[in-house]
Structure 1
Amino acid sequence: MLPTTSPGVVVHAAGDLRVEPVPLRDPAPDEAVVEVAYGGICGSDLHYWSHGSAGESVLRAPMVLGHEVVGTVRRPAADGSGPPERTPVAVHPATPAGDGRTRYPADRPNLSPAGTYLGSAARFPHRDGAFVRFATLPSRMLRPLPAGLALRDAALAEPAAVAWHAVGRVGEVAGRRALVVGAGPIGALAVAVLARAGAAEITAVDVHDLPLRVARDVGATRTLDARRPEDAAAVEEVQADVVVEASGTARGLASAVRGARRGGRVVMVGLLPAGDQPVPVSLAISRELELVGSFRFNDEIGPVLDALADGSLRVGPVVTHEVDVADALAGFALARDAATSSKVLLRF
């Protein structure tokens, strides 16, 4: 028997985060009930808590947060789709959908204009997330873990897929010089993916000691502390073939542009605030840089799980803290402090 409610993390408004009972929704025939084991606190979760919005997505009603989750199937889909009971799974949180008028490439469903994402206020009614002990989820979202991969080790599959997608947007990596601006969780994971892909040099830039240490632990060959004038000036001397901008700040994007070699490519995965941003576009023009966006991911979570299982993708150092869901507010406060934490996991 499954409980009718279980503890969940619900944001009611900016600054109002609560751990409260969340009803277990009756599953449709193509939905399963998953007992969530771990959930990673993402930057978007922090934005909903701190600001009541994440980019253009504005909170209009209470919403269960969370899209970086792994767990075990407790009740499989009644129609036979998806994995059987007791299967450990990672969750792909996207539901692609077109709107009938906006054009986008069919092979890039992450760009579908009417799609939804777990724990997103982009549409109303909002799409509840999965920071809840028992979650009812479409069976198509569930990805069985490879044999031998523990749930705790798979907890970074979703953000690692975001990083994997971003590095995929870079193009050829092997033997090339790479620069990662912003060594928070996504930046650090991008470093790990670049290292696995055979980048010859990987320079990571940040403004805190902890992210730089994590970046070194997952494969950065050099780190620069942008608080130090000499290191900030050294960014332009990197002359990277490929750059991943993961800070989500205008200053970080400016550094990414300046740190790219002429004819290089800058992939922007850090989500900047809505509206116009002051960026040295003239340099991008005169250096013929390619500025490329990277948004979420498509099917990269499969290769990520395989790489986690065979040990070729080193992500363990990215997780710095694990907090019980009952202490979620403390966990969110910890995750917001980039000087003391990288990825914070909630344990359900």
Structure 2
Amino acid sequence: MRLGPGMDYAVAEFPVPEPAPGQVLVEMAYASVCGSDVHLVDPDFHRPEMVGSPGYPGHEGVGRVVASRADGIEPGAVVLTVPSGRFGGCFAEYQALDAGSVIPLREGDDLPHVLMAQQLGCTIAALAKYWREGMRSAAVIGLGSAGQFFVQLLRARGVEVFASDVDAARIAFGREAGARAVHADELAATVAQAHPEGVDLVIEAAGLDATRALAIELVRVRGVVGNFGYPEFQVGTFPTMAAFRKAATVEWFSNAQGEPGQWCFHEALDAIRTGAIEVGHMTEVRMGLEDVPRALAITAAHGEGAAKITIAIRPESAIFEGS
């Protein structure tokens, strides 16, 4: 995958990393592609010192600890990996992580399913920041995995939800989840017909300047706009005057990994285990490690209908049997 002049995203062989004090070495079973990964491989956005690092920028993964130099985490533990997106290394067979970037899983956990807890945990923490008591209506712009999670979380709170995407399969899931989901071109008119004054909360989950402007258009006076995910490659525009005139609260969210006790990821794991949040359809599209460049390209093109792409790195039998 071409990143820029003279730069490519490619699959290569690297030595197995050595964990430093306070770190663990994780043998990876699965990783998943996040929309933010598409930003992070762009030459105007990535951390230059991370270029060439094995597994970068993957930050959603599950695997087995095979070596530990950290207290409280023993070899053999199966873990969810939650490194910061800008320092991730999940697109590799092995990665060394700080102990605070792994969460032990339970025996019997479905690994492809609980892998989704990384993304779900981020949306849970973001919604906690955006939420105000008394909210009754919301719009979600973008129905990738994050947008789909926001729809489910909002519907569980009894909120009337409008949602949009450009992909028919994603729109269909939004409807199945209880949102009034439409094509992106129809969202403004659909919301205006039902709520001429605007909705209480707009969550922008597409990551574009145009959709952030649309969010300001859709929110009511003194409503809340929640911007989720990375800005559009650092340089962008924002409708400041329109936001000013509505006295809108504009919230940005980042660094779920820094939440106290990583509560949001634990809550996400519980929601997946109990079936409170549907993730099965997000685990259906799987590719191999050698396909990561193609998976990134597909994700950049709205997933070709898939909400999420899972990278299968090692058979689960090898992970659980320790081979």
Normalized against structure 2, the TM-score is what?
0.83
Distance 1:29 1:340 in 2: 43
- The one-letter code of the counterpart of 1:19 is V
Structure 2 counterpart of 1:52, one-letter code = P
My pick for the range that moved more, 208-217 or 161-170, is: 208-217
3-state SS in 2 of match to 1:22? coil
Q: Distance in 2 between matches of 1:191 and 1:133?
A: 33
Q: Is the 2:36–2:230 contact (alpha carbons within 8 Å) kept by the matching residues of 1?
A: no
**Counterpart amino acid of residue 287 in structure 2:** V
- The answer to whether the 8 Å contact 1:224/1:232 transfers is no
Once residues 341 and 184 of structure 1 are traced to their aligned partners in structure 2, the CA distance between those partners, rounded to angstroms, is 8
In structure 1, the residue corresponding to 2:175 is in which secondary structure? Answer: helix
* 1:286 corresponds to 2:216: no
* 2:199 corresponds to 1:240: yes
Return the match for 2:144 from 184, 189, 198: 184
Q: How many residues align?
A: 301
CA contact (8 A) 2:59 2:88 kept: no
Q: 1:21 to 1:12 in 2, by over 3 A?
A: farther
**Shift in alpha-carbon separation, 1:270–1:233, aligned structure 2, 3 A:** farther
Give the 5 Å matches for 1:23-62. 23-49=15-41, 51-54=42-45, 57-58=47-48, 61-62=51-52
Asked whether the equivalents of residues 137 and 160 of structure 2 are also in contact (C-alpha less than 8 Å), the reply is yes
Would the alpha carbon gap of residues 86 and 173 (structure 1) be closer, same or farther in structure 2, given more than 3 Å must change? Answer: farther
What secondary structure sits across from 1:20 in the alignment?
coil
Matched, 1:301 2:245: no
Match of 2:172 among 192, 195, 213: 213
Query: Is 1:154 matched up with 2:100?
Result: no
The offset of 1:15, in angstroms, is 5.6
Give me the identity figure in percent: 24
Alpha-carbon contact 1:208-1:225 (below 8 Å) kept: yes
Aligned equivalent of 1:225: 183
What is the DSSP-based 3-state SS (H/G/I as helix, E as strand, rest coil) of the residue aligned with 1:166? helix
Paired residue secondary structure (1:52): coil
- Equivalent residues in 2 for 1:268-283, closer than 5 Å: 268-273=227-232, 274-279=234-239, 281-283=240-242
Deviations 1:216-250 (A, max 9, x none): 34x2421121234xx44223444221111111112
Query: Is residue 69–residue 91 contact of structure 1 (8 Å, CA) maintained in 2?
Result: yes
The one-character-per-residue Cα deviations of 1:293-324 (angstroms, maximum 9, x if unpaired) are 11131221121112212221222233451101
Alignment gaps of 5+ in structure 2: 314-323
Deviates more, 1:243-252 or 1:233-242: 233-242
Higher helix share: 2
**Aligned position for 2:104:** 144
Measure how far apart 1:129 and its partner are: 1.6
With a CA cutoff of 8 Å and minimum separation of 6, indicate the structure with the bigger relative contact order: 2
2:78 aligned residue? 88
Shift of 1:262: 2.1
- One-letter code of the match for 1:221? A
* Among candidates 297, 310, 318, match of residue 345 of structure 1: 310
How far apart are residue 14 of structure 1 and its match? 7.0
What does 1:62-77 correspond to in 2, within 5 Å?
62-64=52-54, 65=56, 66-75=58-67, 77=68
Gaps of 5+ in 1: 1-8, 94-116, 121-126
Question: Structure 1's 21 and 60: CA in aligned 2 closer, same or farther, altered over 3 A?
Answer: closer
Name the aligned partner's letter for residue 80 of structure 2: A
Cα distance, 1:139 vs. partner? 1.9
Q: What is the Cα-based RMSD across aligned positions, in Å?
A: 2.7
TM-score, normalised via structure 1 length: 0.78
1:194 aligns with 2:154: yes
Matched, 1:163 2:123: yes
Q: Which has the higher strand share?
A: 1
Query: 1:37–1:70: 8 Å Cα contact kept in structure 2?
Result: yes
Q: Which residue identity is paired with 1:325? A: L
Counterparts of 1:328-343 in structure 2, within 5 Å, are 328-338=292-302, 339-343=304-308
Residues 31 and 136, structure 1, Cα contact 8 Å, conserved in 2: yes
Q: Contact (CA 8 Å) 2:66, 2:76: kept in 1 or not? A: yes
Compared with structure 1, are the counterparts of its residues 199 and 146 closer, same or farther at alpha carbon in structure 2 (3 Å cutoff)? farther
| 1:162 counterpart SS class | helix
Look up the SS of the partner of 1:34 in the other structure.
strand
Determine the C-alpha separation between the residues in 2 that align with 1:28 and 1:270.
30
Render the CA deviation track for 1:118-137: whole Å, top value 9, x for unaligned: 5x2xxxxxx46221112222
In the alignment, the residues of structure 1 paired with residue 50 and residue 61 of structure 2 have an alpha-carbon distance, to the nearest angstrom, of 24
Select which of 275, 279, 282 maps to 1:311: 275
